[in-house]
Amino acid sequence: MDNPILVTGAGRRVGFHIASRLKQDGYDVLAHYRTETDDVQKLRHLGIQTIQADLQDTSSIMVFIEQLQQLSQSYRGIVHNASAFTPTSEDLNQAAEQYQHFFTVHMLAPFLINQALSATLKGPGDDPADIIHITDINVENPTPRFDIYGTTKAGLHNLTVVSAKKLAPNIKVNSVAPGPVLFTESHSQEVRQKMLAETPLAREGGAEPVYLAIKSLLENPFITGATIPVDGGRRLSKA
């Protein structure tokens, strides 16, 4: 592969859209997925190379890194979209397992991948390469019911800032923090209406605004250590 952008968690929803749109805009893309889906098949039909890995523990992450190093000698950038999202369990043992899992996906995997690939990241011309972390507006104001999710995403936000310092000047490191961009089937109509009522722009954003934020970071050579919220202003109205 020729200097691709790696997108993790590209097997569905926002990750699928990011990988597809990058390809449409002329980038070479390597799309990571955990579980085979119809969207993964669609990515292949678009000419996007895919790679499977379950980022569940250190050993599986290290195997994934070895595969990445074999697939390409250089990378244009990395978009860390892989994520885990469920309410915190009330059972203490389950919560402990949940915390370890969320930490591994949201913090450990991006850290190890960034460390391993940093020497291979190469931007266009004399411009720096890019690492982009997909965090969440919960980083600013976490929801108690999702405290494990929010605190591990906050760790990813901190990784953004420290990595921007550590990897400059050859690599820019930024975050995109989505809000209510895509509802899931688990969201009842009541929950959807409540979320929209708390969102100043009063609409479901969709995946495209997330991609547009990523694209703006890729195309701007002088932004690092920054976070772009893509939430319709919802973070402004949360008490």
26-60: pLDDT as tens digits: 999 999 999 999 999 999 999 999 999 999 999 99
Q: What are phi and psi of 88, to 5 degrees?
A: -65, 130
From residue 141, alpha-carbon distances to 26, 32, 103, 147 in Å are 36, 29, 19, 10
pTM of the predicted model as reported, rounded to 2 decimal places: 0.95
Told to judge if 149 belongs to the known catalytic residues of this protein, a careful annotator would answer yes
> Angle at CA 216, nearest 5°, toward 214 and 222?
115
Q: What is the pLDDT of residue 86?
A: 92
3-state DSSP assignment of residue 102 = helix
Q: What is the pLDDT of residue 205?
A: 82
Q: Mean of the per-residue pLDDT values for the chain?
A: 94
Domain ranges for the chain: 5-237
In degrees to the nearest 10, what's the CA dihedral of 234, 144, 225, 122?
-100
Alpha carbons 52 and 135: distance in angstroms, whole number? 22
- Answer yes or no: is pLDDT of 239 > 60: no
Residue of 27, 33, 75, 149 marked catalytic: 149
115-137: pLDDT as tens digits: 999 999 999 999 999 999 999 99
| E-strand stretches of the chain | 5-7, 29-33, 49-52, 77-80, 129-134, 171-178, 227-230
Alpha carbons 49 and 120: distance in angstroms, whole number? 19
113: Cα separation from own chain's centroid:
13
Alpha carbons 195 and 140: distance in angstroms, whole number? 17
pLDDT band at 199 (very low <50, low <70, confident <90, very high): confident
Pair of tokens at residue 114: 């960034």
Q: What is the pLDDT of residue 235?
A: 86
- Answer yes or no: is pLDDT of 16 > 70: yes
72-92: pLDDT as tens digits: 999 999 999 999 999 999 999
Mean pLDDT of 16-31: 98
Q: What is the pLDDT of residue 186?
A: 62
pLDDT band at 238 (very low <50, low <70, confident <90, very high): low
CATH (one of 3.40.1260.10, 3.40.50.2300, 3.40.50.720, 1.10.240.10) for 5-237:
3.40.50.720
Alpha carbons 137 and 143: distance in angstroms, whole number? 10
Q: What is the pLDDT of residue 236?
A: 86
Alpha carbons 230 and 211: distance in angstroms, whole number? 10
